Amino acid sequence: MSETDLRAAIAREMPGVRADLENLVRIPSIAFEGFDHTQVERSAEAVAELLRGCGLETEIVRHGGQPAVIGHKAAPAGAPTVLLYAHHDVQPTGDPALWTSEPFEPVERDGRLYGRGAADDKAGVMAHVAALRAFGDQLPVGVVVFVEGEEEYGSDSLNDIIAAHLDTLRSDVIVIADSGNWDIGQPALTTSLRGIVNLFAEVKVLKSAVHSGMFGGPVPDALMTLARLLTTLHDEDGEVAVDGLVGREGAGVDYPEDRFRHEGGVVDGVKLIGHGTITDRIWTKPAISVLGIDAPRTFEAANALQPSAKAKISVRLAPGDDPTSAYAAVRAHLEKFVPWGAQIEVTLEAGGSACVIDATGPVYDAARAAFAAAWDGTQPVDMGVGGSIPFIATFQELFPQAAILVTGVEDPYSGAHGPDESLHLGEFERVCVAEALLLKNVAEALTS
């Protein structure tokens, strides 16, 4: 099919693609503990039906975790096989009061579709479906569509699923539709992502709570102790102060501070922390954040010294760092700097590797050409991402000969993981055009 044919086919398919996306968004497929996992099952069934409708041999698989969907169609003679990845599970909504509309009832406002999963990552699922529908029975490559069911919850069973279906998943090109574009009107290929280590630090100063008047003064309460400890993770400028973490400068893409502050919703007057360019600080240097603290809520706090306090700490690792050594470095720091002789226990929750992709060669040329065509001549940016997709390193290890393309449907205003998550509908159609053209270009570049 020609580029003109594919553009017309995508335009024809978009109303149905949007309707199916809205149906997926209505399913609250949250894989976290404490939520109704029958909804994740519903979501997997819905995705499986979409893939069957595209003519793929499809099955729902699981290995101890939530259901994933694998659909595949053999390549024409001499043509390459492309694996298309997305995930159908979503983040919890948080406080529904913070949403303008119901999280699981998709609503269009000002050209954007609002709803949990509308961008991350059910639109990724539907971008794959849109490209397959555009080709119909004229698909020029073999495809494997792999839609995971617990990516937001840590992908605990992913390695087992891959191991069990390794031959089916083996491919020449892997397209991971779980990232974003540089801006509205500016496409991107993601070429690096930070790794992650999440851990807990708990300090203990008393055997049990005691009267704050009778014992306050000489005894350091646990919350004060924890707060003092957490401040040691950064220096006075907010630069990470943990020895042993890897970091570098030279990300090479300009991200103006005013744009960053606007997109991040930084409150007026708040100074940014750390050193280096914005892109250095979010792509190639480590970051440490305190995600939560176990403590009495203020309205129920008694006049008592708390015996213990616990924090969840997230460490984003620069490319080149290792989760095991990074965890050891942070644990050693916390144990060294805990004040006043308090007892401390540091425990690992989870870790994942950073990755760097060498985006050179015919597949990447094919992708850039597809993106530039879909965005009417605008060349894609090679960008890093401050977030983490640890399984990309797994794909790199298991499929070393495959070219890995990290693409996505999000833009800086999508609000993934937060309230009022949304998808720019105009950009979404460009993403669908780009993926169809990518399959066409890859077939032309790699078919023998």
Residues assigned a catalytic role:
89, 151
What single letter denotes the amino acid at residue 55? G
The 8-class DSSP code of residue 166 comes to H
Helices in 58-97 by DSSP H: which ranges?
A: none
Q: 12: Cβ–Cβ under 8 A, 6 or more apart, which residues?
A: none
Burial of 310 (0-12, 13-18, 19+ CB in 10 A): middle
Residue 383, beta-bridge partner list: 190
- Count Cβ atoms below 10 Å from residue 435 Cβ, excluding itself: 31
CA–CA gap between residue 369 and residue 417 (Å, rounded): 31
The residue count for the chain: 448
Give the tokens for residue 27. Answer: 């399913």
Who's near 418: CB < 8 A, 6+ residues apart? 94
DSSP letters for 263-315? HHTPPTTPPP-SSS-HHIIIIIS-EEEEEEEE---GGG--SEE-SEEEEEEEE
- Nearest-10 Cα torsion for 130, 132, 136, 137: 180
User: What 3-state class would DSSP assign to 335?
Assistant: helix
Segment (H or E) for 179 = strand 173-180
User: CB-hemisphere CA count at 13 Å for 44?
Assistant: 22
Distance between start and end Cα atoms, the chain: 18
Contact criterion met (CB below 8 Å) for 310 and 202: yes
What does the alpha-carbon distance between residue 189 and residue 364 come to, in Å, rounded to a whole number? 9
**What's the rounded Cα separation, in Å, for the pair 137 and 129?**
13
